[in-house]
Amino acid sequence: MMRPQRPQGRGRGQAVEKPQNARTVLQRLWKYLYFYKKRFFVAVFLTIVANVFSLIGPFLTGKAIAAMEGTVDFEKVFLFTGLMVVFYILSSVLNYILSRSMIRIAQSVVFKLRQDVFNKLNNIDISYFDRTQTGDILSRMTYDIDTLGTSLASDVIGIFTSVITVAISLVMMIIMSPILVAIFLVTLPISVILTRKLSRKVKEKYRIRNADLGNMNGYVEEMITGQKTIQAYTQEQYVYEQFKKHNKTAADSTYNAGYVGSTVGPTVNFMSNLSVALVGVFGAILYFLGSIPFSTYTSFTLYSRRFSGPINQISNIIADIQSALAASERIFRLIDYPNEKEDAADAKALDEVSGNITLNDVTFGYVKDQMVLKNVSLNVKQGDVVAIVGPTGSGKTTLVNLLMRFYDINTGTLSLDNDSVTNIRRDDLRRAFTMVLQDTWIFYGTIYENITYGHENVSMEKVIEAAKKAHIHQFIESLPDGYNTKMTDDGLNISKGQRQLLVIARAMLSDAKILILDEATSNVDTYTEIKIQEAMKQLMKGKTTFVIAHRLSTIKEADQIIVLKEGQIIEIGTHESLLSQDTFYAKLFNSQFN
* pLDDT of amino acid 13: 36
Q: What is the rounded CA–CA span in Å between residue 296 and residue 314?
A: 27
Same domain, 268 and 374: no
Grade residue 45 by pLDDT with cuts at 50, 70 and 90: confident
Same domain, 328 and 416: no
Q: What is the rounded CA–CA span in Å between residue 486 and residue 499?
A: 13
Give the mean model confidence (pLDDT) for residues 67-88.
80
pLDDT at 9 over 70: no
- Scanning 294-406, the segments in alpha helix (DSSP H) are 294-336, 396-403
* pLDDT of amino acid 363: 93
Grade residue 311 by pLDDT with cuts at 50, 70 and 90: low
Task: Answer yes or no: is 540 within a domain.
Answer: yes
pLDDT at 12 over 60: no
Same domain, 194 and 81: yes
Same domain, 180 and 98: yes
Task: Answer yes or no: is 345 within a domain.
Answer: no
Same domain, 382 and 265: no
Pick from 249, 147, 269, 264: nearest CA to 201: 264
Contact 518, 435 (CB under 8 A): yes
Q: What is the rounded CA–CA span in Å between residue 498 and residue 524?
A: 8
Number of domains in the chain: 2
Q: What is the rounded CA–CA span in Å between residue 72 and residue 82?
A: 16
Same domain, 306 and 415: no
Same domain, 387 and 317: no
Pick from 471, 474, 589, 572: nearest CA to 530: 471
* pLDDT of amino acid 138: 83
The CATH number that applies at residue 195 is 1.20.1560.10
Q: How many residues does the chain have?
A: 594
* pLDDT of amino acid 214: 77
Same domain, 512 and 573: yes
| Residues facing residue 562 across a β-bridge | 388, 572
pLDDT at 7 over 50: no
Pick from 355, 400, 350, 415: nearest CA to 540: 355
Per-residue pLDDT tens for 342-401? 877 888 888 888 888 999 999 998 888 888 999 999 999 988 889 898 888 888 888 888
* pLDDT of amino acid 419: 87
Task: Answer yes or no: is 197 within a domain.
Answer: yes
pLDDT at 523 over 50: yes
How many C-beta atoms surround the C-beta of residue 429 within 10 A?
Answer: 23
Task: Answer yes or no: is 22 within a domain.
Answer: no
Contact 160, 94 (CB under 8 A): no
Task: Answer yes or no: is 365 within a domain.
Answer: yes
Same domain, 533 and 445: yes
Sheet of 385-389: strand order equals 433-436, 514-518, 544-548, 385-389, 560-565, 568-573
Share of the chain above pLDDT 70, in %: 88
Same domain, 392 and 497: yes
Same domain, 332 and 364: no
The CATH number that applies at residue 425 is 3.40.50.300
Q: What is the rounded CA–CA span in Å between residue 514 and residue 473?
A: 25
pLDDT at 258 over 80: no
Share of the chain above pLDDT 90, in %: 4
* pLDDT of amino acid 553: 59
Distance of CA 226 to the CA centre of its chain: 22
Task: Answer yes or no: is 166 within a domain.
Answer: yes
Which of 301, 336, 371 is the C-terminal boundary of a domain? 336
Which of 336, 369, 396 is the C-terminal boundary of a domain? 336
Same domain, 268 and 393: no
Confidence (pTM): 0.66
Range of lowest pLDDT (69-83, 184-198, 415-429)? 184-198
pLDDT at 11 over 60: no
Task: Answer yes or no: is 19 within a domain.
Answer: no
Range of lowest pLDDT (403-417, 439-453, 530-544, 577-591)? 530-544
Average pLDDT, the chain: 80
Q: What is the rounded CA–CA span in Å between residue 563 and residue 517?
A: 16
Give me the domain span that covers residue 526: 357-591
pLDDT at 16 over 60: no
Task: Answer yes or no: is 17 within a domain.
Answer: no
Give the mean model confidence (pLDDT) for residues 80-93.
86
Inter-CA distances, 363 with 128, 289, 372, 375, 398, Å: 21, 90, 8, 5, 11
Grade residue 460 by pLDDT with cuts at 50, 70 and 90: very high
